[in-house]
Amino acid sequence: MSAFAAFKPASSEVHVESKVDALPILLESMATCSSFVPSFSNTILKPNSILHGLHKDEYLIFRGNYTLKVHSGAILLNNLHPVVVGSSHLVVTNSSESLPIISCSCSESRSELKSNDFNQLFPSHDSIIEIFNVDNGLPEIGDLYPPLEDHYFRSSGAYSFELILPDLIINCTSVYLDRHTQRSLVKLAKESSTLVVYGVPTSGKTTIAKSLLNTALLLGNLEVAYLDLDPESTSALIPGCLSYTLHSKPVYGSFLPSQKGSNPKDLHFYWGFQSYLSSPLRYLQLCEELIQHHQGSDRVPLIVKFPSYIKGYGRDILTKIVQLLQANHLIYLTHRNAVQLNGFEASDAFEAQDNPDSEVTAPFKEFTAVKSLRAVRKSSEISKKDLFVRNKLLHFHQTEEGNFDFKPIISKLPSRLSFKYISAISVLNYDLDDSSLAFETNKLAEATIMGIFVSPKKNFKTDGLYLNGLDFLSMNCQFICLCLVHSLDLDNDFVNLYLPLDPSCPEKLQIHLEKGKRLILARGEGVIPSVEMVTMDRFEPIVPYIDSAAKKRIGGVWKPRRGISRKNQG
């Protein structure tokens, strides 16, 4: 039995081992469009879904949001993970990540998998799948923040997804795992209980980590833990947080924030910055506490994603973390012989030097095994800055149903939190004992994103509401949720703030207040997306005497100055 599978009883999922064969063509090169071509003989359109009958070795790539359901046959996702007949999987895609690929393969138990009524619809086909609409409001994020207008597919037709065909002119790539990478992922997942993924920037760390997570689940584990230690991650579940989450279902497509579906054992520590350099010692402390949380719970398989800190002090931090985890394997995604897409060009000084893999991995081989895998690198059409804005918008605009409402935050009245519940307001990297800050707390907090924490004690020394950042960090406060501070009403002793739309956030806050707990508001960089605080009313500017509309010629030649209305020319 594998080290992964030893932790939990086997689930009902089909194991990833050898039941379904990968398509050789997808192991040799990356697909940029579907090989499947819809026709009257293989496609049935329904009001809310589309049925497809597939022949062996056909594959499909969709963009958009959809739910995949397999009715019969042998189906692989990303040419690696078998999908159980009758199961459904939500898939969310965006323009900055490679698209999942759905392929039809052969199976050792094909006749058994095909024994259902759907075979009457496509009797000559090997597999039958159905793609359902998912209307979750994600495409409307571009209405609030125009740089993300095309980030999530916005359908103009009846379906929330689109099949990528050869004649569709878009810049598209699918998830690509070559033969060596596939074999390595399955072998590592079977033999190891703790795996750490690290590598050069933009090397596909999230894709590899998700593939390991999915593989571990399909090997028979009921739960797999995922530890994201990357402050620079553009797939963070809660912006500004280092997160430990438990997963019981495979994750195909993008990670999305989810309060409703979160596990009670999930743990999020507010970090507040986009690099460990803001406070390396505190970063290491939070990593250690997350590791202790994992080791103190039921030991489930663990996948760790480490940031791109592979030289200097970053390497020392990784060494410390690997030792604390007692990791079985490190997976290093190397820039050497990497697949480079969309005209990717490395700008990191590390890659301009020699830095052979043997030198990069040598310090870790004393206490763990290291596996080097080929990176897949893609130039994103969306800047990293805009992706960080996206994460904040997703977090604050997700509703209870798992949908999104992207009306500006200020379109609703803020909540009011009395000062009697607040012990202090702090800024994490402010080591200032300046009494004047007691009278300027509003300048530290207004128009920022702040974390709400439970204070471990009711009484402690502050200057007014201001608490020194180092004093706050020494108190080991419990993080509850993020909030968007609109303003401080110093005359009436209220904080006007907005909480995420998900009702679970105010519910958690209310529970602590009913217990008589005191709160501390603290922030890191705290930058609010400007669109949250500026009304987006659209109007046509009125500029006198200038008109670009075509006009009839009136009594003479109309050459220069055309479009400039004059006194006698209408």
How does pLDDT run across 22-74, given as a tens digit for each residue?
A: 888 888 888 999 999 999 999 999 999 999 999 999 999 999 999 999 999 99
pLDDT recorded at residue 501: 92
| Separation of CA 568 from chain center | 61
Cα dihedral 171/236/330/261 (nearest 10): -110
Strands 161-163 and 59-72: antiparallel
Radius of gyration, CA atoms only, the chain: 27
Query: Does 179-386 carry CATH code 3.90.110.10?
Result: no
Q: Which of 357, 400, 347 is nearest to 377 (CA)?
A: 347
Q: What is the pLDDT of residue 58?
A: 96
Q: Is residue 97 within 8 Å of residue 184, measured between CB atoms?
A: no
CA 491 to chain centroid: 41
What is the distance between the alpha carbons of residues 181 and 30, in angstroms, rounded to a whole number? 13
> What is the residue whose two structure tokens read 């763990």?
368
pLDDT tens, position by position, 140-192: 999 999 999 999 999 988 999 999 999 887 888 899 999 999 999 999 999 88
Per-residue pLDDT of the chain (570 residues; tens, 9 = 90+): 444 444 444 444 455 554 568 888 888 888 999 999 999 999 999 999 999 999 999 999 999 999 999 999 999 999 999 999 999 999 999 998 999 999 998 754 444 444 567 778 888 899 999 999 999 999 999 999 999 999 999 998 899 999 999 988 788 889 999 999 999 999 999 988 999 999 888 888 999 999 999 999 999 899 999 999 998 888 878 999 999 999 999 999 998 876 555 788 899 999 998 887 788 889 999 999 999 999 987 789 999 999 888 778 888 899 999 999 989 899 999 887 777 766 666 666 555 456 677 778 888 888 889 999 988 887 778 888 999 999 999 999 999 777 999 998 888 899 999 999 999 999 998 877 666 666 678 888 999 999 999 988 777 766 678 888 888 988 889 999 999 999 999 889 999 999 999 888 899 999 999 999 999 999 999 999 989 877 555 434 444 444 455 555 545 555 545 555 555 554
Cβ atoms of 209 and 226 within 8 Å: the answer is yes
Q: What pLDDT is stored for residue 549 in this prediction?
A: 52
Closest CA to 84 of 21, 9, 19, 13: 13
Structural domain boundaries of the chain? 24-163, 179-386, 407-532
What pLDDT score was predicted for residue 534?
72
| pLDDT of amino acid 312 | 80
User: CATH code for 407-532?
Assistant: 2.40.30
What is the model's pLDDT at position 490?
87
Rounded CA-CA distance 488/492 in Å is: 9
Could you write out the DSSP letters of every residue in 438-450?
GG-HHHHHTTEEE
Give, to the nearest 10 degrees, the angle between helix 280-296 and helix 313-325.
Answer: 10
CATH of domain 24-163: 2.60.120.1030
